[in-house]
Chains A and B, each alone.
Chain A
Amino acid sequence: MPHQLTRNFCIIAHVDHGKTTLSDRLLEYTNTVEQRVMTDQHLDAMDLEKERGITIKSHPVTMRYHAKDGQVYKLNLMDTPGHVDFSYEVSRSLAACEGAVLLIDAAQGVEAQTVANAHLAFGQKLKVIPVINKIDLPSANLDLCLKQLEDILTISAEEAILASGKAGIGIVDILEAVVQRVPSPRWTDYAQTRALVFDSLYDSYRGVISYVRVFSGAVRAGEFMLLMSNSAKSEIKEVGVFMPKMEKTASLGAGDVGYVVSNIKDPSEIKIGDTLTLSAKPAAAMLPGYKEVRPMVFCGLYPVETSDYEKLKAALGRLRLNDAAFVYSSESSVALGFGFRCGFLGLLHMEIIQERIRREHDVDIISTYPSVVYRVVKHGDVTIEVDNPVNLPDPGEILEIREPTIKAAIHIPNDSMGDILALIMEKRGVVDHTDTLDATRVMLTCILPLNEILVDFNDRLKSVTHGYGSMDYELGEYRAADLVKMEILVNADPVDAFASIVHREKAEGKGRELCEKLADIIPPQMFKVAIQAAIGGKIIARDNVKEMRKDVTAKCYGGDISRKRKLLDKQKEGKKKMKQFGRVSIPSDAFIKVLKTN
């Protein structure tokens, strides 16, 4: 099929605006998936995706469509994730397309990721097809949506298609628009073979499988491919397309989307966004837009049962194979034993990985507080990166600590302005400027420390705006801040798992809260135990663990000795599993409980 009859497009939208559901209808209409095997949110293949109803990975699929002009088109569709953590995933998918179907939930209107993703699409010069979705909803407000389309996104309302993925409205209109409005594949006449790697997967039988969009030339089995970012060379074993299951083909040509199996053993050699070319006739220039993805949020992950360490290690290894954005390395903690430092794109990414470890790999784990990556400028003009508060150098060595910030676009109803400004201030943010979106909504562009939005920012945003607020962000620059390491001491011994880097002004409040929690959760002790929060040796908050009041058997005569010994022995074995802090034994699940109550 000539590439003139190929259309590559993705579906983009804010979270939950119905991308995957609409994809279902397209698959059905084009008979890509037979009725009898069709399931809801078909492209969300992972259990976790199905259960949470969210898309985590972009899903490519090739459809054949008999258009009204009498031609049969090959449509390569990519369903994308909506959540901000996976925006790199979205931008890679966009880079593999010439068009984007932009969904707007008719009841919600334009939200933060609607704008962010639309801008990503414009930036990549894609043809954007606006679709007002979920028009079956009684609360649908078409007038508002169409007006927002013009006012906020500067797209003519006349271009909009009204649809409902759920009710199957507007499906043909969308397919026709894709055929007619989305241009045929670009950059096909480049002299050498170039393909964009937009995802990869590890299969225990076939090894690393790269998902590619071919721009020029062709790839077929038997040839040697070259990855341009690191010059890794390997033989191509198989190529094929997604129907949506993988189906082997003879070759992938210009404009095609499909997969490449090569004999690359180490999945970390495949970088998402890389350009694949042929080693016999390599391309001179990479496709535009390649960017290393770097984890932004780190935490320690530890097995609850120390005996599960190896199992956890294996689980992380396997997850890493399919997730280049996830990194880990081993570390150990006095309180929690042996575990791993892990890096993620964001909190949702972190949560998902943790859940997959628990569920798919059956390892019970505990996570330390998430931390961002700080840049610490030391005397002598040395800058180091610190992703674990424990590794922060002594204050004497530090000239300055810089923290990552984000540039956030926050969409809110006008009437929650006061609350949001207070929230931003509390989170040490500054509002750069305010744009009026329409009569009822504004968008605040602000700079916030990444660290401050990790914990509860999104929840608070949702709650003060009664669910109508949304946020999108991109990483901003590093900025110097008055940051200090706060340690938690148990009877004067620091407990590494609770060390954190906090803003000086927030240290006391946070310290008090932690001390209180620990004092409450640690079971009563034989001895006096002080829990303290300290900055550089100075105590800023303290609390005491309850003292054990009564643990004595009333009757203990000759006949009770054997039984009593057994009970004491059991208690003793229990104590051995505890962590020792001087004279204090603390069950590790006490730390776990404190970490969990956040």
Chain B
Amino acid sequence: MSGLGTEQAKASAAAAHSGASAAEVPAPLGLYVHVPFCASTCDFCAFYQTQPTAGSVDRFLGTVRKEAELVNWDRPVHTVFWGGGTPGLLAPRDLGRLAEIVRAHCAGVPEEWTVELAPTTVTAERLAVLREAGVTRVSLGVQSFQPALLEALGRQHTRDRIFRAYERIRAAGFASVNLDLMFALPGQSEEEWAADVREAAALAPDHLSTYCLTFEEDTKLWVKLSQGRVKLDPEHEARLYEATWSQLEAAGFAQYEISNFARPGHICRHNLNTWRMHEWIGLGPSAASQHGGWRGANVSDLDKWWTGVERGVRLTEDRVALTPRLLAEDALIFGLRMNAGVDLAAWRLRAPEAPWATVEDSLATLAAGELLMREGDRVRLTTRGRLIADTIGTEIMAAFEPLLETA
């Protein structure tokens, strides 16, 4: 058995514990703001977003301000992330207003502040406002460098727009720049994808996110899939994953999660903290929170969201109470997505009531099957394991289930 109760384990357990007592170092707190506006809907998109109408941006900003006032800001915010939708659709002046709201609650300057931008929205003026406000990191939604694939994805931007946007972002001097890419697009060859990765790496960003195209329900792409107009090919996808990982490794980008790669010092801490089951506050329609004893998401509907907030209520969906046991389970399921894996000792201390014996059995089985590696109390997935992290997640979930009979 592993060394339960060592000093080191206690220390990391304390760090992992978000509801820390005053004497302990508080766990990092994140803030996510969902900007729900897009000019049009991409075929693959399952995010909550809508086309902005006259006055809706104003009302959105006013409501974010009110929602923030409903939150118990119990400690300083470490990381901020604005996602969407398309935050860059906001006019420079509105970006400034949103930043003001955020800063009012952060109690100091966030260590990391990311804003997602679509290439078409990158203007010098917007970048200046963001820089000024304290944004440290820009995530640019490139998706592909191939004009035909951009077209097929229903994206608004061209290849030239990407390069122009990137230059502007670099010129503005943000500490960290990420490029988002997508692969396994219908009709995309392995060579085409390798070319995309090469071009992205050649721009020398600090961070890269590469996403295998996912068929989300209620998207146009899903409809095509169910009509048999496009086909899933897990073998092809697996090969693309493997190729990406080795290609980026060679280009100096270390993988730290299934879809994320960074140069030294540029890991996205906001996301790292969610996989570690720390806490974050979500503002805006559909934004998820894990804070103050519960996890849940705001309603995915602008109207419902703002009428609720105006009445002083944050309407939430999928709300569950956070228990150490649930967090331990999720820390494993989602933590194993990270190359660094999970420190079991810390979670064992924090959630002693979890069924660790069955969990250990399950981990041992996975290790025997060469899907998982174990170094002391740290468990991490092998390359093969990482490719089937969801299946492994269900194994772990089953191991955490209290009454799972072996009959």
CB atoms of A552 and B258 under 8 A apart: yes
Contacts of B389 in A (CB 8 A): 551-553
Chain B residue at minimal CB-CB distance from A546 = B235
Cβ 8 A contact of B274, one of A526, A553, A561: A561
Contact A558 B237 (CB under 8 A): no
Which of A549, A555, A576, A583 lies in contact with B365, CB distance below 8 A? Answer: A583
Structural contact, A528 and B369, CB atoms closer than 8 A: yes
Tell me the smallest distance from the CB of A210 to a CB of chain B, in Å.
46
Q: Is the CB of A552 within 8 A of B274?
A: no
Within 8 A of B (CB), among A557-574: 557-559, 561-569, 571-572
Cβ–Cβ < 8 Å partners of B237 in chain A: 549-550
Per the 8 Å Cβ criterion, residues 539-597 of A in contact with B are 548-559, 561-569, 571-572, 575-576, 580, 583
B342 CB to nearest A CB, Å: 15
The residue in chain A whose Cβ has the minimal distance to the Cβ of B34 is A559
Chain A min CB distance to B358 (Å): 13
A569 CB contacts on chain B under 8 angstroms: 394, 397
Q: A527 at interface (Cβ–Cβ under 8 A)?
A: yes
Q: What residues on A are CB-neighbors of B241 within 8 Å?
A: 550, 552
| Known A-B contacts A549-B387, A556-B337, A561-B295; A568 and B259 likewise in contact (beta carbons under 8 Å) | no
With A554-B258, A558-B280 already in contact, the answer to whether A572 and B320 are too (CB < 8 A) is no
In-complex Cβ contact of A526 among B318, B334, B371 (8 A) = B371
Q: Given the known A-B contacts A555-B211, A559-B286, are A550 and B398 also in contact in the complex, defined by CB atoms under 8 Å?
A: no
Chain B contacts with A in 67-125, Cβ cutoff 8 A: none
Beta-carbon contact of B274 and A565 below 8 Å: no
Residues from chain B with Cβ under 8 Å of A565 in the complex: 330, 333, 397
Whether B151 sits at the interface, judged by CB under 8 Å, is no
Task: Kindly identify which residue among A526, A553, A559 contacts B214, using a CB–CB cutoff of 8 Å.
Answer: A553
Interface residues of B in 259-289 (CB under 8 A from A): 259, 271, 274-275, 280, 282, 286-288
In the complex, A572→B297 CA distance in Å? 23
A: number of interface residues (CB 8 Å): 31
Q: Are A549 and B32 in contact (CB under 8 A)?
A: no
Asked if B390 CB lies within 8 Å of chain A CBs, one says yes
Q: Does B341 contact A (CB under 8 A)?
A: no
Please encode chain B, from 220 to 244, with 1 for each CB lying within 8 Å of some chain A CB and 0 for all others.
0000000000000011011001000
Q: Are A575 and B388 in contact (CB under 8 A)?
A: no
**Given A527-B369, A568-B393: A558 in contact with B30 (beta carbons within 8 A):** yes
CB-nearest residue of chain B relative to A571?
Answer: B394
| Cβ A549 vs Cβ B369 within 8 A | no
Which of A561, A576, A580 is close to B334, meaning CB atoms less than 8 Å apart?
A561
What residue in chain B is nearest A555 (Cβ atoms)? B211
Interface size class of B (residues with CB under 8 A): 35 or more
Total CB contacts across the A-B interface at under 8 A: 116
Q: Given A556-B337, A559-B297, A568-B390, are A551 and B234 also a contact pair (CB < 8 Å)?
A: yes
Most A C-beta atoms less than 10 A away, residue of B287, B297, B366, B404 = B297
Does A549 contact B234, Cβ atoms closer than 8 Å? yes
Q: Mark B20-47, 1 if CB is under 8 A from A, else 0.
A: 0000000000101010000000000000
CB neighbours of A526 from chain B (8 A)? 366, 369, 371, 388, 391-392, 395
With known contacts A552-B389, A554-B212, A583-B369, A562–B394 Cβ distance under 8 A: no
Contact B390 A571 (CB under 8 A): yes
* Chain A residues with CB under 8 A of B290: 558, 561
Write the nearest CB–CB distance from A550 to chain B, whole angstroms. 4
Which of A553, A559, A567, A575 is most buried by chain B, counting CB atoms within 10 A of its CB? A559
- Say yes or no: B234 contacts A550, CB within 8 Å: yes
Enumerate chain B residues within 8 angstroms of A572, measured Cβ to Cβ. 394, 397-398, 401
Q: Contact mask A76-99 → B, CB, 8 Å, 1/0?
A: 000000000000000000000000
Closest to A574 in B: B394
Report yes or no: B32 in contact with A559, Cβ–Cβ below 8 A.
yes
The residues of A that contact B366 with a CB separation of less than 8 Å are: 526
Closest B residue, CB atoms, query A570: B394
Q: Which residues of A contact B212 (CB under 8 A)?
A: 552, 554
A559 and B391 contact, CB distance less than 8 A: no
Bound complex: CA of A569 vs CA of B404, how far in Å? Answer: 13
CB distance from B183 to the nearest CB of A (A): 9
Closest chain-A Cβ to B371's Cβ sits at a distance in Å of 7
Residues of B363-407 whose CB lies within 8 A of A: 365-366, 368-369, 371, 386-395, 397-398, 401, 404, 406
Residues of B within 8 A of A524 (CB): 234
Q: Is B141 on the interface with A (CB-CB < 8 A)? A: no
- Shortest CB distance B109–A (Å): 22
**Which of A551, A555, A575 is the one whose CB lies under 8 Å from B259?**
A555
A residues within 8 A CB of B214?
553-555
List the B residue with the shortest CB-CB distance to A528.
B369
Check B387–A557 contact: CB distance below 8 A. Answer: no
Question: CB-CB < 8 A to A549: which residues of B?
Answer: 234-235, 237-238, 387-388
Q: Bound complex: CA of A558 vs CA of B29, how far in Å?
A: 12
The contact string, 1 if C-beta is below 8 Å from chain B, for chain A 414-452, is 000000000000000000000000000000000000000
Tell me whether A550 and B387 are in contact (CB under 8 A). yes
User: Which residues of chain B are within 8 angstroms of A556 by Cβ–Cβ distance?
Assistant: 258, 275, 334, 337
Contact of A550 among B30, B238, B320 (CB under 8 A): B238
**Residue on B nearest A524 in the bound complex, by CB:** B234
Contact across chains for B287 and A559 when beta carbons are under 8 A apart? yes
Residues of B within 8 Å of A527, CB to CB, are 369, 371
A550 to B241, CA, bound (A): 9
A554 touches B211 (CB 8 A): yes
Q: Bits for A512-532, please: 1 = Cβ < 8 Å to B, else 0.
A: 000000000000101110000
Contacts of A576 in B (CB 8 A): 398, 404
Residue of A555, A558, A572 most packed against chain B (CB within 10 A): A558
Residues A553 and B238 in contact in the complex (CB < 8 Å), given A558-B30, A559-B32, A559-B297: no
Which of these, B271, B318, B391, contacts A551 with CB under 8 Å? B391
CA distance A552 to B280 in the complex (A): 24
Report yes or no: B235 in contact with A575, Cβ–Cβ below 8 A. no
What residues of chain A lie closer than 8 Å to B275, measured between beta carbons? 556
Q: In chain A, what residue has the closest Cβ to B278?
A: A558
Q: How far is the CB of A66 from chain B (nearest CB, A)?
A: 68
Least Cβ–Cβ distance between A422 and chain B, in angstroms: 42
A552 nearest in chain B by CB position: B389
Q: A566 to chain B: which residues have CB within 8 Å?
A: 318
User: Which residues of B are found within 8 Å of A550, using beta-carbon distances?
Assistant: 234-235, 237-238, 241, 387-388
Q: Contacts A549-B235, A555-B214 given: A562-B282 contact, CB under 8 Å? A: no
| Distance (whole angstroms) from the CB of B189 to the closest CB of chain A | 18
| Alpha-carbon gap, A571 to B389, bound state (A) | 13
Chain A hits for B235, CB < 8 A: 549-550
Whether B390 lies near A551 (C-beta < 8 A) is: yes
Q: How far is the CB of A574 from chain B (nearest CB, A)?
A: 9
Least Cβ–Cβ distance between B266 and chain A, in angstroms: 17
Residues of A within 8 A of B369 (CB): 526-528, 583
Bound together, the chains give a CA A165 to CA B306 distance in angstroms of 82
Q: A568-B390, A568-B393, A572-B398 are in contact. Are A561 and B288 (CB under 8 A)?
A: yes
Q: What's the minimum C-beta distance from B333 to chain A, rounded to whole angstroms? A: 7
Residue contact B387 to A559, C-beta cutoff 8 Å: no
Query: Can you report 25 residue pairs joining A to B where beta carbons are below 8 Å apart?
Result: A526-B366, A526-B388, A527-B371, A549-B235, A549-B388, A550-B234, A550-B238, A551-B388, A553-B389, A553-B390, A554-B212, A555-B211, A555-B214, A556-B258, A558-B271, A559-B282, A561-B290, A562-B288, A562-B320, A568-B390, A568-B393, A571-B390, A575-B394, A576-B398, A580-B406
Residues on B close to A: CB < 8 A? 30, 32, 34, 211-214, 234-235, 237-238, 241, 258-259, 271, 274-275, 280, 282, 286-288, 290, 295-297, 318, 320, 330, 333-334, 337, 365-366, 368-369, 371, 386-395, 397-398, 401, 404, 406
A-B pairs with lowest CB-CB distance, top 9:
A550-B238, A559-B288, A549-B238, A558-B274, A527-B369, A562-B318, A554-B211, A554-B212, A550-B234
Q: Besides the contacts A526-B391, A556-B275, A558-B32, what 7 more A-B pairs have beta carbons closer than 8 Å?
A: A526-B388, A550-B237, A552-B387, A555-B211, A561-B274, A568-B394, A576-B404
